Amino acid sequence: MITRDLQVDSEGKLHHFLTIDSLNRQMLTEILDTAESFAGVTEQTVKKVPLLRGKTIVNLFFEASTRTRTTFELAAKRLSADVLNINITQSSAVKGETLLDTLRNIEAMHVDMFIVRHADSGAAHFIARHVAPHTSVINAGDGRHSHPTQAMLDIFTIRRFKGPDFGRLRVAIVGDVMHSRVARSQIHALNLLNTGEVRIVAPRTLIPASVESMGVRVFNDLRSGIQDVDVIMVLRLQHERMKGALLPSEHEYYELYGLTEKKLAHATGDAIVMHPGPINRGVEMDSEVADGPRSVILQQVAHGIAVRMAVMSLAMQRHPGGTE
């Protein structure tokens, strides 16, 4: 069980960042507001602040990543930290070294923070339990459990485009909710902000059992699911996590659930379209939509830098000596 205690210290300050579900609204808002203050840094000529000078941050990615790994690296560099990227495929993990041994050996190099992505749910939590007390762990995606910084950058993007009053918003999450760590984190974050209505839209085979207990409305039809929504968050089909044939074919999925300009007309006139990436074009959505005027997909990526700067600086603030 991932507890709130593991994420925050005795004073309620962020220590690790593993999951959204145990945050409260105040902490979530603090991350968003801190990210807002960092968004300006990324637009300056000199894109650096000295907050984490002298700190060592290690990117420990056991699973492929483009956006998350690079934006964490950029965010750490913009905070003036030293960043080490461990290439797992060329590390001793491929010779059978255990996760814990890999961790202990890197930790011996006086690391202050690990950014962890792993195919197993609970991996970041496991690492957080075993690191030295001064070391922070940030979850960059664990199995199908959680991807908290992705959800934070998604919420940050919605707030920038739609304003801070989530109570008046209808949000639809479309696609493979069953295997998605992103969807779980998004639903928790949207609930914390008292979002007016959160819908999930997917074929029955891609909807987890008792998902309604998370306070969402479930739709199996795309057109009615996105009717009058303000935000459409499309998910990737997570083929690597599917066991057996959950879908008849990608073509049929596209016909029923692929977002096209025509289907998009069911949403509000100024609805925004989001996707965490990587996109399967022509399956989850048309290129016309992905590259169209309603798409904020590349803005999501850019916002990832400011949000990850916020999470890293807040997690370091509690350290003796803290941020500069």
Residues that bind ligand CP (CB under 6 A): 65-68, 141, 150, 276-278
**Minimum gap (Å) between residue 201 Cβ and ligand CP:** 19
Q: In the chain, helix, strand, coil percent, each to 5?
A: 45, 15, 40
Nearest to 323 by CA among 122, 68, 79: 79
- Give 253's contacts (C-beta < 8 A, 6+ positions apart): 203, 237, 247, 283
Coil, strand or helix at 183: helix
Contact 154/186 with Cβ under 8 angstroms?
A: yes
**Minimum gap (Å) between residue 276 Cβ and ligand CP:** 4
* Residue 155 neighbours by CB distance under 10 Å: 26
Q: Give me the residue label for tokens 């979850």.
A: 139
Whichever of 22 and 65 has its CB closer to ligand CP, that residue is 65
Contact 130/165 with Cβ under 8 angstroms?
A: no
Whichever of 68 and 323 has its CB closer to ligand CP, that residue is 68
Nearest to 315 by CA among 74, 21, 40, 57: 57
**Minimum gap (Å) between residue 157 Cβ and ligand CP:** 12
Whichever of 67 and 223 has its CB closer to ligand CP, that residue is 67
Contact 35/314 with Cβ under 8 angstroms?
A: no
Residue 146, strand partner residues: 142
278 cis-preceded (ω within 30 degrees of 0): yes
What is the Cα–Cα distance from 304 to 253, expressed in whole angstroms? 29
Whichever of 8 and 305 has its CB closer to ligand CP, that residue is 305
Whichever of 68 and 136 has its CB closer to ligand CP, that residue is 68
Terminal CA-to-CA distance of the chain, rounded, Å?
34
Whichever of 68 and 146 has its CB closer to ligand CP, that residue is 68
**Minimum gap (Å) between residue 149 Cβ and ligand CP:** 9
Q: Amino acid letter at 87?
A: N
Whichever of 153 and 201 has its CB closer to ligand CP, that residue is 153
**Minimum gap (Å) between residue 300 Cβ and ligand CP:** 8
What is the Cα–Cα distance from 84 to 238, expressed in whole angstroms? 28
**Minimum gap (Å) between residue 176 Cβ and ligand CP:** 13
Whichever of 28 and 233 has its CB closer to ligand CP, that residue is 233
Residue 87, strand partner residues: 61
Instruction: Label the pairing between strands 113-118 and 136-142.
Output: parallel
Helix and strand numbers, DSSP H then E, in the chain: 12, 9
Whichever of 143 and 196 has its CB closer to ligand CP, that residue is 143
**Minimum gap (Å) between residue 150 Cβ and ligand CP:** 5
**Minimum gap (Å) between residue 297 Cβ and ligand CP:** 10
**Minimum gap (Å) between residue 241 Cβ and ligand CP:** 13
